[in-house]
Every structure is written in structure tokens, then in C-alpha cells.
Amino acid sequence: MSEHETTAEPGGEPTRRDFLFLTTGMAAVVGGATVAWPFIDQMRPDASTLALASVEVDVSSLSEGMSLTVQWRGRPVFIRNRTEEEVEAAQAVELAELKDPVARNENIPNAEATDLNRSAGEGMENWIVMIGSCTHLGCVPLGQAGDYNGWFCPCHGSHYDTAGRIRRGPAPENLPVPPFEFISDSMIRIG
């Protein structure tokens, strides 16, 4: 055995070789983490995406019959304070007349497409919040237009009623309702 070669006896003192194994292993762990971190970090959502995860909208200036379009997650969202006549017209529609009988409301999954299930809820039926992207090919429909005075997609002729339900045309589904809630009498949080 040479003077530089050392071995530890069972239960003996650690040797120079033990120290080198330990420090080499630690250097490998730190180096691996340093190399892997940029790949792991790039999988996190971008700050701009996180900022759009929810948006608060002041609707105090929307009187009856007015609409507002805001951006949420890069998509237009229609907010409308419907008139009493629009609410009554939407409530009068029989479910059997609808092309899509599902509400498509993320706040109440698997609900029927009644006007109440598409609106902000009991006592707030005049408020409707929907993603403003036609369910056919993603065009942005025009408001207070079409055969049902709701939304009309001029690109391919989809007609939605005042509750955002598809009534005629190639669109297969109702305009989706995003998760939203009134956090005060005049403020809506979407997302």
C-alpha cells in the first residue's frame, strides 16, 4: 500500500477518498441543478399570462341596454346589461327550440341552457357575461344584431339570441360563459 492510498476500516475514520467522493458528488448535484433550472423555469406561466388569469371590470357605467367588451386571456368577453325586453325574450324560448341545450356556463357545469343558467343568476338576470368568440370558427360576433337581436357572426351566418344561445347557422354550441362573479354591486371578476 502506498502512502497516498488510504482505506477506512469498518467504523474507522473517513479517508481522503471518502472526502473526494463526497465533494465530487455534491459538485455533480449543484452542476446538474444549474443546468436543469432554465428548462424547469421555462415551464412556468409567463407573467403576462398570470396577470390575465383574472380581470376585474367596473360595470357601474353600463346602464340598461349597454354592452362592454373586455379582454381576458387574449379573448374578447362580452358583458351586457340587458333590457327587460331582452330578458323576457330569452326567458320565453323553449329548450326544445335550442340547437344546443347545454348552458356552457363554467359557473354551473352541465346545466340546461335556460336564460337564468346563462345569466348572472337569480335577481341579476339582466347581466350576461360571455366569451365573444363564435363557436364555429372563432370570429367575433356583432352585438344586438341578427334574427334574434342578440349576436350575429357575419363571417358564416351564425345567429345567437339575447342569452348568447346559438339559434341558427353553422355554430355548434352556445357562446361559453367564463367563470365570473360580482364582487360588489358594480364590479365583476372574470376568471
- Cite the active site residues: 156
Cell matching residue 129: 357575461
Beta-carbon contacts of 53 under 8 Å, excluding residues fewer than 6 positions away, are 73, 191
CB–CB of 64/84 below 8 Å?
yes
CA dist 102 and 111 (Å) reads 6
Could you tell me the three cell numbers for 14? 473517513
| Cell representation of residue 82 | 340587458
CA-CA distance, 136 to 153, in Å (whole number)? 9
